[in-house]
Amino acid sequence: MTTEMWNYVTDFGDSSVTLTIAAFLLIYLLAQERWRAAGAWVVAVAACGVGMALLKIAFRSCVHDLASAEFTSASGHAAMSATVYGGFAMLLTVRPVVWHRFAIGALAIGLVAAIAVSRVILGMHQRAEVIAGLLIGIASVLLFRRLRGRDQTPLPVLGPIAGALALIALTHGERWPIEEYLTQLAALIRHHIPACS
């Protein structure tokens, strides 16, 4: 694949796409009156997002001396895509038809894996950073599963997928400057906190 194609793949993991899908899924769960699942979804996505933000700020400010050429920051693309696409698939795969579960699960795993690989190929992250991001995302999905508890009613397939595809079409290729904001915040911390300089 060319660099252009890998950039196309990596954009599926940008926060402009993943956070929009996460918000859509939250609204959908609330509309379905799936209160427990909606609350679990908010906690899981927030845990991943806030956790990643804190890690990035920490590595770029107070613990930057611990960073090495192999690990400077976990991959946010990998973490958030694993959380959002993994959690989405989990809600859709609670159904009796085996091939439905297999197809949806395989699609989600394939997409997350492709996004993770794209980060390495494009030189945005080292392998260790992508693996760390994936582990954070997987932990967030497991948190979602645990908090969701007995709410095992499957979502309808067509509505959520159609909505997610429409949002992807609208947001894919947009790049929110969250990374730049975190870098600026880390620089402020290094500048104003003597222990971090």
SS (H, E, C) 62-77: CCHHHCCCCCCCCCHH
Residue 58: the pLDDT is 76
Tokens of 54: 């804190």
Residue 30: the pLDDT is 94
The rounded distance, in Å, linking the Cα atoms of 85 and 45 is 11
Residue 74: the pLDDT is 83
To the nearest 10°, the Cα dihedral for 63, 69, 73, 77?
Answer: 170
Q: pLDDT tens digits, residue range 104-123?
A: 889 999 999 999 999 999 98
Q: How many domains does the chain have?
A: 1
80, 18 Cβ separation under 8 angstroms: yes
Domain extent for 137:
3-196
Residue 61: the pLDDT is 67
- Residues (pLDDT < 50) of the chain are none
**pTM of full prediction above 0.85:** yes
Residue 66: the pLDDT is 53
Q: How many CB atoms lie within 10 A of CB 97?
A: 11
34, 100 Cβ separation under 8 angstroms: no
